Structure 1
Amino acid sequence: MEYLYLATGLVLILAGANYLTDGSAALAARFRVPGFLVGLTVIAVGTSTPELVVSVLSALEGQGDMAVGNVVGSNLFNIYVILGLCALIRPLPLTRQNIRRDLPVGLGAAVVLCIVLADEVLHPGHPARIGRTEGIAMLALYALSVWTAARAARREQPAEDSAAARPMAGWLMALMIVGGLGALVAGGELFLHNATAIARKLGVSESVIAITLVAGGTSLPELASSIVSVIKGRSDIALGNVVGSNIANILLVLGMSATVSPLVPGGIDGVTLGAVVLGSLLLCAAAFTFRRRSLDRWEGAIFLVIYGAYLWWLLAK
């Protein structure tokens, strides 16, 4: 029966990603805003719902390690696996606004994560603690980043294809976005639960399940929506989704979790935090390598290799 539920979850994920992409493209055209901004805000927050639910519930139960580990694992999967796969399908162009504003904000969020977890790395005997004050500050930073992006979007020219996009009724557009997000989240939960059950029956270790299925499972909405966006020629939405999700995971998800209940994470080492920052640095550097202002296929392949090396290191510890 698990295999049937697994297939059902996959169908929901694919259908949800398809409708979410079309609805988001229509939203960008309707309000004449860049598709990247829609991916950075609407889609990013929506696809980060699984991380938000898992982290907040973990915080309420006093499991700070699960709350932080979920965010860190998801961010690593987002930037190395999702962007890596998307770039292999089609190189991802980077706009001047991405390079000057959006990617540096993503890097800044990664640095904030390192700062709030500095005690864990610098003083192994003194576990880090993300208190309510830090949580509120992170939420304020997230609100500021969204406000800044929205304000800048008003001054930018609308996407070239906005005027040519086929008009869509407002109710249908909203239905596609909300329904697509709902299908993504529900399908992701169904897929993750049954994939985990199947892996346990096959004798796969709990550590492998946690590192691969759980981290990747909560990122399934981002993975599906980003790949479908790239296939449909909306690389801007895919890039905005990943960058926005990583920012939302750190500042919104962790910020809200710490505000609800202070987090005392454990097990987050310097290599893992370094991998999070490295991913943001490599994405910024991609704008200046070989084919400028683009994350190329070979760079996507490097991202996947780095993630594979990180998993190997993690399992070999």
Structure 2
Amino acid sequence: MIFLNVAVLAVGFIALVKGADIFVDGSSALARIFKIPSLIIGLTIVALGTSMPELAVSTSAALAGSNEIALSNVVGSNIFNLLVVLGLCAVIHPVPVDSLILKRDFPISIFSTLGIFLAVTFPAFLNGSFFTLRMDADAGTVSRTLGIIILVLFIAYIVYLIFDARKNPLPEEETGGEKLLPLWKCILFIVLGLFLIIAGGKAVVYSAQNIARFLGMTETLIGLTVVAIGTSLPELVTSIVAARKGETALAVGNVLGSNIFNLLFILGVSAAIHPVSVNIASVYDMAVLIFISVLSWIFSITKRRIGRIEGIIMLLFYGAESVFAIMR
């Protein structure tokens, strides 16, 4: 049985890599056809596509009442995206960060996380439970009302991106220098790549969970590590492939866009389906996410890029955070 799961894991990784390769080609070609910056494609189409596994896991968990998995999956995936996805991309090739991302998308990601953190933890501060040593103690709830509010904020963000893309199309010289793929082929590449990404991601998560259980890992630890990492594999593979193809704007846009999708759309949908209870451990993880978001922003501001040294620091930070989560 364990050998079958290892085989499924390998096939899932192959599907992820090939799907990401096709998906990036289709997405970047679509951007050139409609004269839309790769950054916008990364923040929307690519971010939505690579966030599908998180959406499936979190909404399924919400419907089943497994609220801790729904929240820890979103927070864990966002931490992984910032530290591992951006970190690995920077180690492979220094990642330039668009000034628009520094002014708009990084602050939106940080303040969204901070706003939800404050909304959830305010009651815990009032009654003193935030300072308890019990990790499973209740700290608050992401209510249906809060879920609907953050969904409205997400829609406003997407509408703004669309209007901004229409207002600032790519210059003609950036789109006319190479042969463009036909529109039908772009759509085929995107759909086929997305199918392989989602199918590969599900195969990896399913087999990894079974292997983790075989090794004696608890359900909570599986949710914080295996599931969060597994559902972030599309972002990881897609961003690395994009960076290697020179589509660095698409790679960075994918990470920031996915984080905003996860936080505002996926958490919003999950809370709208069923209020998401939050324990102290999840609150601490959200605090870590805020710190990491600010740190990544600072790294990006220096020289307007994330260099190899910063990438190594981010990867080491993720290793330390993972050790803390396992020991906790």
TM-score relative to the length of structure 2: 0.90
Q: 1:148 to 1:312 in 2, by over 3 A?
A: same
User: 190-199 or 8-17: which moved more?
Assistant: 190-199
Q: 1:8 to 1:206 in 2, by over 3 A?
A: same
* 2:306 pairs with one of 274, 291, 295: 295
Name the amino acid aligned to 1:176: F
Verify: 1:127 aligned to 2:139, yes or no.
yes
Q: 1:177 to 1:144 in 2, by over 3 A?
A: same
User: 181-190 or 256-265: which moved more?
Assistant: 256-265
State the Cα deviation string for residues 265-312 of structure 1 (Å, max 9, x = none): 3243553222111222122212332xx110111111111111111112
Other-structure match for 2:190: 177
Name the amino acid aligned to 2:151: L
Q: 1:167 to 1:38 in 2, by over 3 A?
A: same
Verify: 1:312 aligned to 2:315, yes or no.
no
What is the CA-CA distance between 1:11 and the residue it aligns to? Answer: 1.2
Q: 1:165 to 1:260 in 2, by over 3 A?
A: farther
Give the Cα–Cα distance (whole angstroms) in 1 for the partners of residues 149 and 219 of structure 2.
35
What is the CA-CA distance between 1:142 and the residue it aligns to? Answer: 0.5
Verify: 1:143 aligned to 2:143, yes or no.
no
Question: Contact 1:120/1:268 (CA < 8 Å) preserved in 2?
Answer: no
Other-structure match for 2:273: 260
Give the Cα–Cα distance (whole angstroms) in 1 for the partners of residues 101 and 317 of structure 2.
23
Number of paired residues? 315
Question: Contact 2:38/2:249 (CA < 8 Å) preserved in 1?
Answer: yes
Question: Contact 1:188/1:218 (CA < 8 Å) preserved in 2?
Answer: yes
Identity of aligned residues (%): 37
* 1:90 pairs with one of 88, 93, 103: 93
Q: 1:93 to 1:172 in 2, by over 3 A?
A: same
Question: Contact 2:147/2:269 (CA < 8 Å) preserved in 1?
Answer: yes
Alignment of 1:30-109 (within 5 A): 30-109=33-112
* 1:167 pairs with one of 177, 180, 199: 180
Q: 1:162 to 1:116 in 2, by over 3 A?
A: farther
* 2:17 pairs with one of 8, 14, 20: 14
* 1:221 pairs with one of 222, 234, 251: 234
Q: 1:120 to 1:55 in 2, by over 3 A?
A: farther
Question: Contact 1:64/1:266 (CA < 8 Å) preserved in 2?
Answer: no
State the Cα deviation string for residues 132-164 of structure 1 (Å, max 9, x = none): 211111011111111222222233352764332
Give the Cα–Cα distance (whole angstroms) in 1 for the partners of residues 36 and 93 of structure 2.
23
What 5-or-longer segments of structure 2 have no aligned partner? Answer: 130-136
Report the secondary structure of 2:26's partner residue: helix
Report the secondary structure of 1:129's partner residue: strand
Q: 1:117 to 1:101 in 2, by over 3 A?
A: same
Other-structure match for 1:115: 118
User: CA RMSD, aligned part only?
Assistant: 1.9
User: 140-149 or 80-89: which moved more?
Assistant: 140-149
Alignment of 1:183-262 (within 5 A): 183-203=196-216, 208-262=221-275
State the Cα deviation string for residues 169-220 of structure 1 (Å, max 9, x = none): 1111111111111110100111221133234434556565443321100111
Question: Contact 1:110/1:280 (CA < 8 Å) preserved in 2?
Answer: no
Give the Cα–Cα distance (whole angstroms) in 2 for the partners of residues 165 and 103 of structure 1.
32
Q: 1:260 to 1:198 in 2, by over 3 A?
A: closer
Give the Cα–Cα distance (whole angstroms) in 1 for the partners of residues 188 and 317 of structure 2.
38
Question: Contact 1:88/1:297 (CA < 8 Å) preserved in 2?
Answer: yes
What is the CA-CA distance between 1:258 and the residue it aligns to? Answer: 0.9
Other-structure match for 1:5: 8
TM-score relative to the length of structure 1: 0.93
Name the amino acid aligned to 2:114: V
Name the amino acid aligned to 1:302: I
Other-structure match for 1:276: 289
What is the CA-CA distance between 1:73 and the residue it aligns to? Answer: 0.7
